[in-house]
Structure 1
Amino acid sequence: MEIEAELLLQEAKESIEAAKNYKRELLQRLQGLNQARKQIKGSALQTRETLQQHFSDLKATFTKLLNDRLACLLQEVDSIEQQNIKPLEDCQKLIQHGVTAADDLLREGEVAVQCNSGDKKDKLGNFTKKALQIQLDSLPEVPSLVEVPCLSAQLDDSFLAIVKDRIVVHGTVASHPPVQIEELIERPGGILVRWCKVDDDFVAQDYRLQYRKSISSHYEDVYVGPEMEFIVLHIDPFVDYQFRVCARGDGRHEWSPWSIPQTAQTTLVPHEWLPGVDGYSLSSRRNIALRNDSPASGVLYSNAATWLCGQTLTFRIEGIGQPDKKDSIGVCVECQDGYDSLQRDKAVCISTNGTVFVNGKEMTNQLPMISAGSTITFDLEIVNICLSNGTEGESLKLRVTISSGNREVVFDWLHDQPCDSLYFGCSFTYPGWKVLVF
């Protein structure tokens, strides 16, 4: 009986624990549903406000444009009317003056004709002289109707149809943005952002990536172009950043709605060159090195061994100088003074002519010659070797991939000691070379 009771008690405890787990999972799903509901409601509210504001602005703009155009046309009518009515008014005044003069002459003539007194002859003479002075056979010229303006308005009846056709298709409402952020990968001092299309019918011409600190309200453009990934540099470690992306359809000018913002941070400190080395000047963030005119004291190394296995190390050539066979860009196990190049033991590098060196030995495979804008990437993967005595990890083999342009070189690099992080470095004989590392 005691054993049975213990079994029942154990089953009851397990059921209670299962019920707790079940409740916890349900609450988490309920929270997810609430977030989804909040996203739908919030985005719908924001979309309504955007539509109302946009169409309100359109109506205000259209009304102003129509009123301005109407005022311009009415002013043109007034100008034509005033310009052409003045000669007619002048002619009218002249004719009215003639009518008044003719009336006066008629009255005087009738008086002269009807006069029975002795001065009738004088009155008739004076009337005749006055009639000659008025020049009764000279009439002012009056323009015909075809010679004066007849104003009218020419209005294109198709304008309303064109505007209507554009208005009925203006604006769209989408349930999902056509692009979404797919992956956020931390990099030293940066974050690699990858995005993808979620609308197969949407043909994208360009993408636009923005980011901001979570505590900031202002997004900044960081990339516009056709690629679907971008490394955002100058990211402060252990600080949350928000990212969003949109797209522009092929042949269109407007951008699509933004993707749902995603938050990420990097825990990896940025790559930096070692300051204070003769022959090299560094940028404020120490991620750009410039070979200056001063004599170089040797190889410029990184400030620390910040390149970890499994990460991609990238060098981008921002400026070039005169090449030399001893030039080198690469990685090494340790910083060794007294060398003027990474073409030495415990180092892997590429020269400016594209030659790859492993432990100071030239490889047969060659990469493209380095030029302005060239990007060289190093990828490192650990491969453990089992020795003849059956132990593992007493020696280490690193699989290194160096890529430049559209070519890459892959080889195994053997080490007799554990090595999970490396230094990087460069050396240039002549000034002008400028290298960004990230």
Structure 2
Amino acid sequence: MGDKNEVVETLNAAKSYLNHLENLNKQLENAEKQICDTSKESERNIETTFSNLLTNLTEILLNRKDILIRKVQKTRKQSLAPLEASRSDIFSNIEKTKKLIREGQSLLNSSRENLDEFSQKSSFLGSLPAIPELKEVPFISFHYEPNLESELLDICSQFGDVSRIAPVQISQTVEKPGAVLVEWQSVDDERCVDIQEFRLQRAFGDVISEKHLETNFFDCYVGAETQFLVKDLHPNQLYSFRVCCKFEGSSDWSPWSLPQVTKTTIKPFSWASNKDFVFADGNKIATPVKEMPSLLLSDGPQFAVGYSVEFSYLEFDNKCSTIALVAAKDATDIKEIKSSSHSYFALDTTGEIYVDGVKKSTKLPEAAKGLKICFMCELINDDKVRVNIDTCNKQVTYDWQICKTDKLYFAALLKSPASKIMVE
């Protein structure tokens, strides 16, 4: 029996080992495919780019040549016109002079009765047309800057490059409610300190399997940070992300990173239905329909450690309202925010902060229309979290004694229909 068990264990180990080997082989196949596919695509891009460049450069140079030749021809025509007029005068006088010589020779062999007429005809002799000196007429020439030619040839000789891999790559994508946190890092250790800014783009769908979707990439972040929370995403919908960078002193962006395809399965933050409110934008915006409405709660325990939630007062009634994170087992346990029956982390519109019944010494700016308040929660240990509140470029941080597995709701206590709040 012992031998059989050993054989079974060996078989199981062998199957597990085989599975690992097959997975590794699959990874190798994917790596080989990526190298071959991207190299072939790069070859096609090089062929297309240089073919277009050659066509365009040839067309530009031929056009420039024709322009210069036409300029030479126009200059020649304009310069010859006055010389042609002078030549016409000279030829006319040559003919008149030859005719006069013939008449004179005839007079010498005959009677001299027509001497007076002959003398009158000779009056033009000695009158010569004005002919410009060579230094006064155009000396047409073609010239160009040899340095410019060298510069053009140098640019052409260094046009384009081939990168083994882009200098910055997406390192991680993290699902958030209706959003994805995209993080990236430099893979070029030598030049990472020279990076001036990053550029993150998003496309709808899977661009790896559907190349044509690359045309819908658009910027969603440009800046110096190495992460960005991409919001307003549809749950369970695939999105593609890519990032590039710009080095200090350069105006050109680097090649794009490998595209990363991901999705969020977590629905966006929203308010639970409540008869005392009207809702808009997928229940993200809530407006009371009566004075002193009931407590406004999130649509379930949507908040968790590692999340951030932003509240915006779209309209404000100048009455004391409250927003909060509430730790409770069930929404039915939450009758009001500041209750001893559950843990809470609250901020009044007066700027006062309350944590589990304790009013904190730090006070934030008072609320106003358009104000945005962001709650961020990070784990310290199994029984403690740290909450940061950001508003008006000010931040406060307090620890909150709750279990990391506690269900967290967000809540708002508004006072009148003149107020309106949005959650993101």
Shared fold per TM-score greater than 0.5: yes
Partners of 1:305 and 1:322 lie apart in 2 by: 25
What amino acid is aligned across from residue 112 of structure 1 in structure 2? L
* Superposed displacement of residue 149, structure 1: 0.9
- Cα 1:382–1:277 shift into 2, 3 Å: farther
What amino acid is aligned across from residue 323 of structure 2 in structure 1? I
SS at 2:325 equivalent: strand
- Out of 213, 217, 223, the position equivalent to 1:220 is 217
- Cα 1:316–1:47 shift into 2, 3 Å: farther
- Once structures 1 and 2 are overlaid, which stretch shifts more, 181-190 or 271-280? 271-280
* Superposed displacement of residue 379, structure 1: 1.6
Pair 1:145-2:140 in alignment: no
What amino acid is aligned across from residue 77 of structure 1 in structure 2? V
Partners of 1:32 and 1:84 lie apart in 2 by: 76
Q: How does 1:110-125 map to 2 (within 5 A)?
A: 110-116=105-111, 120-121=112-113, 123-125=114-116
Q: Deviations over 1:382-414 (max 9, x none)?
A: 987xxxxxxxxxxxx764513314533213357
- Once structures 1 and 2 are overlaid, which stretch shifts more, 101-110 or 350-359? 350-359
SS at 1:315 equivalent: strand
Residue aligning to 1:326: 320
Pair 1:24-2:19 in alignment: yes
Residue aligning to 1:254: 252
Residue aligning to 1:391: none
SS at 1:9 equivalent: helix
Residue aligning to 2:176: 187
SS at 2:88 equivalent: helix
* Superposed displacement of residue 377, structure 1: 2.1
Residue aligning to 2:121: 130
- Once structures 1 and 2 are overlaid, which stretch shifts more, 356-365 or 245-254? 356-365
Residue aligning to 1:403: 389
Residue aligning to 1:422: 409
Residue aligning to 2:284: 287
Q: Deviations over 1:353-399 (max 9, x none)?
A: 54323467632123456686755223276987xxxxxxxxxxxx764
Contact 1:343 1:361 in 2 (8 A): no
Contact 1:299 1:426 in 2 (8 A): yes
SS at 1:192 equivalent: strand
* Superposed displacement of residue 228, structure 1: 1.2
Partners of 1:63 and 1:276 lie apart in 2 by: 70
Partners of 1:373 and 1:174 lie apart in 2 by: 46
Contact 2:297 2:409 in 1 (8 A): no
SS at 2:173 equivalent: strand
Q: How does 1:380-395 map to 2 (within 5 A)?
A: none
Q: Which has the larger radius of gyration?
A: 1
Partners of 1:69 and 1:142 lie apart in 2 by: 35
What amino acid is aligned across from residue 60 of structure 2 in structure 1? L
Q: Deviations over 1:201-226 (max 9, x none)?
A: 23222222222222861442222222
Partners of 2:2 and 2:272 lie apart in 1 by: 67
SS at 2:270 equivalent: coil
SS at 1:154 equivalent: coil
Q: Deviations over 1:262-294 (max 9, x none)?
A: 222212111124678889774x344356x79x9
What amino acid is aligned across from residue 208 of structure 1 in structure 2? R
SS at 1:377 equivalent: strand
What amino acid is aligned across from residue 107 of structure 2 in structure 1? A
SS at 1:185 equivalent: strand
Q: How does 1:2-401 map to 2 (within 5 A)?
A: 6-116=1-111, 120-121=112-113, 123-132=114-123, 135-202=124-191, 203-211=194-202, 212-214=204-206, 217-218=213-214, 219-221=216-218, 222-273=220-271, 282=280, 284-288=281-285, 298=293, 301-302=296-297, 304-315=299-310, 317=312, 324=318, 326-332=320-326, 347-352=344-349, 354-358=351-355, 362-367=359-364, 374=372, 376-379=374-377, 399=385, 401=387
What amino acid is aligned across from residue 362 of structure 1 in structure 2? K
Give unmatched runs, 5+ long, in structure 1.
1-5, 385-396
- Cα 1:234–1:414 shift into 2, 3 Å: closer
Q: Deviations over 1:88-120 (max 9, x none)?
A: 11111111111111111211121122114xxx3
Contact 2:321 2:412 in 1 (8 A): no
Partners of 1:240 and 1:147 lie apart in 2 by: 77
Contact 2:303 2:410 in 1 (8 A): no
* Superposed displacement of residue 296, structure 1: 6.0
- Cα 1:46–1:435 shift into 2, 3 Å: farther
Q: Deviations over 1:136-164 (max 9, x none)?
A: 23221111111111111221111232223
What amino acid is aligned across from residue 409 of structure 1 in structure 2? T
Partners of 2:104 and 2:291 lie apart in 1 by: 123
SS at 1:55 equivalent: helix
- Cα 1:354–1:114 shift into 2, 3 Å: farther
Partners of 1:84 and 1:425 lie apart in 2 by: 88
Pairwise CA RMSD: 3.5
What amino acid is aligned across from residue 122 of structure 2 in structure 1? A
Partners of 1:344 and 1:80 lie apart in 2 by: 95
SS at 1:259 equivalent: coil
- Cα 1:145–1:380 shift into 2, 3 Å: closer
Partners of 1:296 and 1:131 lie apart in 2 by: 123
What amino acid is aligned across from residue 410 of structure 1 in structure 2? Y
Give unmatched runs, 5+ long, in structure 2.
none
What amino acid is aligned across from residue 206 of structure 2 in structure 1? S
